[in-house]
A and B are shown apart, each in its own frame.
Chain A
């Protein structure tokens, strides 16, 4: 069995570590653990796929059974340290109330529809045909979070549709120049043109957030990816698994960022023809994507009177099908 052979060869190292282990009164110090983990991570997958009890039984029959057994116990403890803890419902609820607040979307009707707005820790998707006001909605949300919740916003723009001037119009305190400047400085915009750049940006973001512990006042609260579908659609296609696997991987990376660092994430999606299934259009990105976002909202615009309607397609704690009418704020409208 391949893993055990590797373990046997490398026994001297484990011995040294075990001596350290004994020397420090039976407490595994973290650096020893890291070394071991780095070392064993090559074979980690193998251990996960094999039956550890069988391995133990096999090791009993070897000559250096004790050392092997110790090694296997070590692996088990490493696995246990690495996997996530079991939390009970009460702790989950506490974490929700303490860390994951509701962010206003900038529009009163949408806020009342969503019972508060976006929730930190959730991935919200906005689906709509072209020119239905998705980018306007995103910019309005960014302005609202930067102004009302004093949080930083990271806006990932894929189609060159971000406009600082428009954001300034959404900010109510633009009369006061310094305050307006401060609010605008909280919004950071990156252009992303393909999915690999998105991966890199998100992974850098994750490292930065982990280092600085995202807990102080002006922490990152909202991440907007305007038109994630324009990044994913080029790689989806045919029956191969690569495109969909990348899509699922991006989805999970976003959800992980949202949950661990208490960020609300807003992504937009376009619509495609439904092909005779009922209704004229359906959201793009297919069946697999449907189970990735927490909340799915559908936006449609009535071009005759430029009224937008937002309805809930799916929500974790609200019934779907509810709708609200909103009006896009024009240049000189009063702020609520």
Chain B
């Protein structure tokens, strides 16, 4: 008896390989361009701040697509996570057409690559009418498209009370959805500061009566944080929240200035560089303490595309505030119609990622969505 026990104790429960595969499956790293500088794990809360038209929702949609695509399907490698995405739309401006177009494009691309048709893609950059007909024959998998769209779950809230109700019942509803197979991977909140002004008004109007918690801004945000923490305890998901700026940027950071100053002060005190946040923070401290990663996105000067020579492309710069990284990434959002010849059928906006290292002045390479 004692011998057996001792032996089983020494033998262990699982090998290192088994443990690693289990952990990687449960708590996978999310590496989504352009957020791929820092590996995101379950339990991380990422806050993406940016002024009004700064491609924040575009990043969310791109991340959602990476999440809902499966890893492989019918022998073709898509490189996704195959998990559910929960989208809490507080801005109420989500356009499902854009999601569907981008998903179709991703499926098509993967199809071409999967069939060894990389050279065909290169050829398609040279416009030719004949190849257009051939392209239409490579139809993407309808069943896969439907199953991916079903993994995208969406709920809208028009005010804080609705948001709180949704959060309180979210756990139960997620369980219902998870019964169909996949787990939740990402929870996205579009514009966490959407009800800021209406909550501030109700906090100034509310009477703080004895023992009764009023519906004030701090209380609402505290309850939101509490509910999210409870969700994070039971589900392994990443929270991606966008935040708009409510006040005009006080320190409109010119990119060139920043580069110069960072080179100068690098050996000097890093503290002075990190002192002022480049925008005025309006979320209460309970939310700020809850967030583990912070990103800020700014509009950059117009960029001229190398491939098509198209001018006036919108370029944005992305900076990681927490953890503080010294390099600033730039990306552009371009209409992918110009790269393929399937113009009449699909038109979509694709995130094309260009890495411009802080030291050199020319773009190095395209980190395109093609690399799955």
**Chain A residues at the B interface, C-beta cutoff of 8 Å:** 1-2, 44-46, 48-53, 76, 79-80, 82-90, 92-93, 96, 241-242, 244-245, 247-249, 252, 255-256, 259, 287-288, 290-291, 294, 313-314, 316-317, 319-321
Contact = CB atoms under 8 A, between A and B. Distances in A.
Given A49-B213, A83-B162, A252-B158, A316 B244 contact: no
A93 B96 contact: yes
A68 B194 CA distance: 35
Given A245-B200, A287-B52, A291-B244, A86 B164 contact: no
Nearest to B146: A90
Given A86-B173, A288-B246, A319 B335 contact: yes
6 contacts: A44-B161, A49-B223, A89-B148, A256-B158, A317-B95, A319-B314
Interface of B: 51-53, 86, 91-101, 146, 148-159, 161-162, 164-166, 168-169, 172-173, 177, 191, 194-195, 197-198, 200-201, 204, 211-213, 215, 219-220, 223, 226, 230, 244-248, 312, 314, 333-335, 349
Given A83-B169, A241-B204, A256-B158, A49 B198 contact: no
A89 B349 contact: no
Given A79-B165, A89-B99, A291 B91 contact: yes
Contacts of A82: 165
Contacts of B312: 321
B246 A92 contact: no
B195 to A, nearest CB: 8
B53 A314 contact: yes
A42 to B, nearest CB: 11
A93 B98 contact: no
B298 to A, nearest CB: 14
A288 B158 contact: no
Majority DSSP secondary structure for residues of A touching B: helix
Contacts of A45: 161, 215
Contacts of B194: 248, 291
Nearest to B200: A241
Task: Name the residue in B98, B99, B153, B159 with the highest tally of chain A Cβ atoms < 10 Å from its Cβ.
Answer: B153
A290 B52 contact: yes
B92 A259 contact: yes
Nearest to A92: B96
B236 to A, nearest CB: 19
Given A90-B150, A317-B349, A49 B219 contact: yes
A154 B329 CA distance: 47
Contact of A88 (B153, B212, B226): B153
Contact of A249 (B148, B198, B219, B349): B198
A252 B92 contact: yes
A249 B156 CA distance: 15
